[in-house]
Amino acid sequence: NAGVTQTPKFQVLKTGQSMTLQCAQDMNHEYMSWYRQDPGMGLRLIHYSVGAGITDQGEVPNGYNVSRSTTEDFPLRLLSAAPSQTSVYFCASSWTGTGNTIYFGEGSWLTVV
């Protein structure tokens, strides 16, 4: 039972490079989301999806792109990395139902130099 799987766990990028953080879940959850964690600011929502083909912006979407072609996968793309995007990124998933739980991945540590 893998739950929510994020790759890579650690990544160093140069300013201006692009990359994709992968997120996959095997629980058939309809809802998936990406958060970034910065010191003293908790976690902030970047983008979310309520199902395949449907995405929407969260609190801090600028500089990031997402798509949801399947229920299982929700990749986060950094179009042109900036030092301000140095952060820890968490993917989460859940389903709409009584007593549901929002599951988080283990996180991806990204440094932009």
Partner 1 sequence: AQSVTQLGSHVSVSEGALVLLRCNYSSSVPPYLFWYVQYPNQGLQLLLKYTSAATLVKGINGFEAEFKKSETSFHLTKPSAHMSDAAEYFCAVSGNLLIQGAQKLVFGQGTRLTINP
Q: Does 105 participate in binding partner 1 (rule CB under 8 A)? A: yes
Please confirm whether the linkage preceding 8 is cis (ω < 30° from 0): yes
Q: Does 65 participate in binding partner 1 (rule CB under 8 A)? A: no
- List 33, 55, 85, 87, residue binding partner 1 (CB under 8 A): 33
Residue with Cβ nearer partner 1 (80 or 101):
101
- List 18, 102, 111, 113, residue binding partner 1 (CB under 8 A): 102
Q: H-helix or E-strand containing 112?
A: strand 108-112
Q: Does 19 participate in binding partner 1 (rule CB under 8 A)? A: no
Which of the stretches 13-21, 69-77, 78-86, 89-97 binds partner 1 when contact is defined by CB under 8 A?
89-97
Residue with Cβ nearer partner 1 (81 or 105):
105
3 state SS for 36-94: EEECCCEEEEEEEEEECCEEEECCCCCCEEECCCCCCECCEEECCCCHHHCEEEEEEEE
Residue of 63, 105, 86, 91 lying closest to 12 (CA atoms): 86
Number of Cβ within 10 Å of residue 24's Cβ equals: 19
Q: Which residues lie near partner 1 (CB under 8 A)? A: 30-31, 33, 35, 40-45, 48, 50, 56, 58, 90, 92, 94, 96-102, 104-107, 109
